[in-house]
Amino acid sequence: MAAEDLLELKFRLYDGTDIGPNKYAPATTIGSLKEIILSHWPQDKENAPKTINDMKLINAGKVLENNKTLAESRVPFVELPGGVITMHVVVRPPSSDKNSEKQQANSPKKNRCSCTIL
Protein backbone atom coordinates (compact mmCIF):
# COMPACT_ATOMS: atom_id res chain seq x y z
CA MET A 1 0.00 0.00 0.00
CA ALA A 2 1.40 3.39 -0.95
CA ALA A 3 2.10 5.88 1.81
CA GLU A 4 -0.26 8.40 0.19
CA ASP A 5 -3.16 5.96 0.66
CA LEU A 6 -2.77 6.07 4.45
CA LEU A 7 -4.98 8.31 6.58
CA GLU A 8 -3.30 10.40 9.25
CA LEU A 9 -5.50 10.46 12.35
CA LYS A 10 -5.30 11.88 15.83
CA PHE A 11 -7.73 11.25 18.64
CA ARG A 12 -8.93 14.15 20.81
CA LEU A 13 -9.80 13.24 24.41
CA TYR A 14 -12.39 14.98 26.60
CA ASP A 15 -9.86 17.38 28.12
CA GLY A 16 -8.38 18.50 24.79
CA THR A 17 -5.28 16.30 24.84
CA ASP A 18 -4.50 14.19 21.79
CA ILE A 19 -3.34 10.66 21.08
CA GLY A 20 -1.39 10.62 17.83
CA PRO A 21 -1.21 11.58 15.04
CA ASN A 22 -0.44 8.25 13.36
CA LYS A 23 -1.10 6.84 9.91
CA TYR A 24 -3.64 4.08 9.31
CA ALA A 25 -4.79 2.09 6.29
CA PRO A 26 -8.37 2.68 5.05
CA ALA A 27 -9.02 -1.04 5.78
CA THR A 28 -8.40 -0.51 9.53
CA THR A 29 -11.53 -1.24 11.58
CA ILE A 30 -12.92 1.21 14.10
CA GLY A 31 -12.69 -1.52 16.76
CA SER A 32 -8.95 -1.91 16.18
CA LEU A 33 -8.53 1.89 16.37
CA LYS A 34 -10.29 1.82 19.75
CA GLU A 35 -7.90 -0.92 20.92
CA ILE A 36 -4.96 1.28 19.91
CA ILE A 37 -6.49 4.24 21.77
CA LEU A 38 -7.05 2.06 24.84
CA SER A 39 -3.42 0.89 24.82
CA HIS A 40 -2.12 4.48 24.44
CA TRP A 41 -4.54 6.05 26.96
CA PRO A 42 -2.63 8.43 29.31
CA GLN A 43 -2.19 6.88 32.76
CA ASP A 44 -2.87 10.16 34.59
CA LYS A 45 -6.46 10.51 33.28
CA GLU A 46 -9.32 9.78 35.69
CA ASN A 47 -12.01 8.61 33.26
CA ALA A 48 -10.10 5.87 31.48
CA PRO A 49 -12.23 3.38 29.52
CA LYS A 50 -11.90 -0.27 30.54
CA THR A 51 -12.90 -1.80 27.19
CA ILE A 52 -13.46 -0.59 23.63
CA ASN A 53 -17.21 -0.67 24.32
CA ASP A 54 -16.73 2.07 26.95
CA MET A 55 -15.78 4.60 24.27
CA LYS A 56 -17.21 6.10 21.11
CA LEU A 57 -15.29 7.55 18.19
CA ILE A 58 -16.90 10.53 16.50
CA ASN A 59 -15.87 11.93 13.14
CA ALA A 60 -17.69 14.78 11.41
CA GLY A 61 -20.59 14.46 13.87
CA LYS A 62 -21.05 10.75 13.17
CA VAL A 63 -20.54 7.96 15.74
CA LEU A 64 -18.40 5.28 14.08
CA GLU A 65 -19.30 1.58 14.40
CA ASN A 66 -16.74 -0.95 15.69
CA ASN A 67 -17.18 -3.48 12.86
CA LYS A 68 -16.74 -0.99 10.01
CA THR A 69 -13.49 0.09 8.38
CA LEU A 70 -12.32 3.66 7.95
CA ALA A 71 -13.23 3.44 4.26
CA GLU A 72 -16.73 2.09 5.04
CA SER A 73 -17.22 4.83 7.63
CA ARG A 74 -16.62 7.36 4.87
CA VAL A 75 -13.80 9.07 6.70
CA PRO A 76 -12.85 11.88 4.33
CA PHE A 77 -9.45 11.71 2.66
CA VAL A 78 -7.60 14.91 3.37
CA GLU A 79 -6.98 16.99 0.28
CA LEU A 80 -4.09 18.99 1.75
CA PRO A 81 -0.70 17.34 2.10
CA GLY A 82 0.17 16.86 5.75
CA GLY A 83 -3.48 17.24 6.80
CA VAL A 84 -4.54 15.35 9.92
CA ILE A 85 -8.09 14.12 10.61
CA THR A 86 -9.15 14.66 14.22
CA MET A 87 -11.58 12.15 15.74
CA HIS A 88 -13.19 12.80 19.09
CA VAL A 89 -13.18 10.12 21.79
CA VAL A 90 -16.16 10.04 24.15
CA VAL A 91 -15.95 7.82 27.23
CA ARG A 92 -19.12 6.42 28.75
CA PRO A 93 -19.38 7.06 32.47
CA PRO A 94 -18.91 3.94 34.56
CA SER A 95 -22.21 2.15 34.93
CA SER A 96 -23.41 1.38 38.42
CA ASP A 97 -23.69 -2.26 39.29
CA LYS A 98 -27.08 -3.98 39.23
CA ASN A 99 -27.24 -4.48 43.01
CA SER A 100 -27.19 -0.76 43.71
CA GLU A 101 -29.85 -0.24 41.02
CA LYS A 102 -32.11 -2.79 42.75
CA GLN A 103 -31.57 -1.08 46.09
CA GLN A 104 -32.53 2.23 44.54
CA ALA A 105 -35.66 0.71 43.01
CA ASN A 106 -36.69 -0.76 46.37
CA SER A 107 -35.98 2.36 48.39
CA PRO A 108 -38.89 4.65 49.27
CA LYS A 109 -39.60 7.43 46.80
CA LYS A 110 -38.32 10.82 47.79
CA ASN A 111 -40.21 14.01 47.15
CA ARG A 112 -39.43 15.29 43.73
CA CYS A 113 -40.14 18.59 42.15
CA SER A 114 -41.92 18.72 38.83
CA CYS A 115 -43.02 21.50 36.54
CA THR A 116 -46.01 21.69 34.25
CA ILE A 117 -46.21 24.18 31.44
CA LEU A 118 -49.72 24.93 30.31
Kindly report, residue by residue over 29-55, the tens digit of the pLDDT: 999 999 999 999 988 887 888 899 999
SS3 63: strand
Class of 1-24+38-78 in CATH: alpha beta
Instruction: Give pLDDT, residue 96.
Output: 57
Kindly report, residue by residue over 49-96, the tens digit of the pLDDT: 889 999 999 988 899 999 999 888 876 655 555 678 889 999 987 665
More confident residue, 4 or 39: 39
Distance of CA 51 to the CA centre of its chain: 11
Q: Provide mean pLDDT across the span 13-29.
A: 90
Beta-sheet strands, E only, within 1-118: 7-12, 18-24, 55-59, 62-63, 85-91
Instruction: Give pLDDT, residue 57.
Output: 93
Instruction: Give pLDDT, residue 3.
Output: 58
Q: Would the pTM of this model clear 0.75, i.e. be above it?
A: no
Q: In what helix (H) or strand (E) does residue 99 lie, and over which residues does it extend?
A: helix 98-106
